Amino acid sequence: MQIVILQSHKLVKGIFRASTFKDCEFQQADLSDCIFERADLRGAKGLTSGQLLKCASIKYTRLDAALAAEINAVNPKLLKN
């Protein structure tokens, strides 16, 4: 298993459909306009709801329960689970 650190990186307009990011470090990463449709972000470290709300699409994305609850509190239609 390889741990990827994306700390403070700009992933602007990246397309990550159906990708898995377990143990990936997202602290302060810029995810503006990224597409994470059907991605698995469970177990990602340093990921915040603020970062995901800047994404172009996070439909059907798998998230940790606490992070999904934060996003659903702001915009319940965003995840469409």
Asked if residues 34 and 55 have their Cβ atoms less than 8 Å apart, the reply is yes
Percent of the chain with pLDDT over 90: 52
CATH 2.160.20.80 correct for 1-74:
yes
Nearest to 4 by CA among 30, 31, 28, 22: 22
The whole-number average pLDDT for the span 51-59 is 93
Percent of the chain with pLDDT over 70: 88
Q: How far is CA 52 from CA 1, 10, 63, in A?
A: 25, 13, 10
Specify the range with the lowest mean pLDDT, choosing from 3-7, 20-24, 42-46, 57-61: 3-7
- Residue range 17-49, pLDDT digits in tens: 999 988 888 888 889 999 999 999 999 999 999
Domain boundaries, the chain: 1-74
The pLDDT, as a whole number, for residue 77 is 86
